[in-house]
Amino acid sequence: MMNITPMVRNLLVLNLVAFIAFTYFGGGEMFALYDFRSPYFRPYQFLTHMFMHGGWGHLFSNMFSLFIFGPMLEYRWGGQRLLLFYLITGLGASILFTAVRTYEFRQLTLDTEQYISAPSPINFRNYLDEHLEGRYNLEAVQQFNNNPTDPNMIAGSVQSVKNIYQTLINVPMLGASGAVFGILMAFGLLFPNTELMLLFFPFPIKAKYFVLLYGAYEFYAGIQRNPGDNVAHYAHLGGMLFAFILIKIWEKDRENFY
């Protein structure tokens, strides 16, 4: 703890205080980042979401990474530049995540409108398979299939589709992961040959390889989209991408200065 640099300490404390305050006193849901089509969306959420966390485990994993990798960056840059880097990469993470989610929700919106205009058991099953990834009550679908002309069944399916749409667009993103992945990228670029001993690796691994493998995994997981995976992989990639760009700009200026 004696080696924690001042800005890293401030960020750790700020994240911890925000988590405790909003978890135990309420109100934190309005500071997470919602889709712009959601009635809960506010522009300030692009900044505030990175100080919100979904649980103690989520908070610990992000803050532990900041605690491990942040001080060396602060020694190199100073506290103000580290804070600027943290905020820019966190914002970059939310921008890429929002762009990907906008593309995905465009299809959700089209599918919802098409189903409302042409409800049927087959279309209902296809909609659920596409957007709930198999996590639905199959018995209800079979009941609709056995009564395809029942007005109550048709109206119920339309309402279910509307509810699914509203539920999906009202799922927020929160956490400092984008900024933390930016920190990881910066560490890998600036201290590439530093050897890391990880809990899940039986031997030391250089920082540059660790970052490369982690980034490749996030890209794969983002494309794969396994059912039940609620991790914002594209936010992680956004943090890494903006970190890469920022490091290249800053290091070029540093070389020109010297």
- Cα angle for residues 5, 11, 15 (degrees, 5° grid): 145
Q: How far apart are alpha carbons 106 and 168 in whole angstroms?
A: 12
Provide the residue-wise pLDDT of the chain in tens; the chain has 258 residues. Answer: 447 899 999 999 999 999 998 888 877 778 999 988 889 999 999 999 999 988 898 899 899 889 989 999 999 999 999 999 999 999 999 998 898 888 888 888 999 999 999 999 899 888 888 888 767 777 878 888 888 888 898 898 899 999 999 988 998 889 899 999 999 999 999 998 888 877 666 778 888 888 888 888 787 777 776 655 567 777 888 889 999 999 988 877 665 544
DSSP secondary-structure letter at 150? -
CA-based torsion, 105, 109, 110, 112: positive or negative: positive
Q: How far apart are alpha carbons 145 and 120 in whole angstroms?
A: 8
> For residue 34, what are the contacts with CB-CB under 8 A and spacing of at least 6?
40, 41, 42, 45, 169, 170, 172
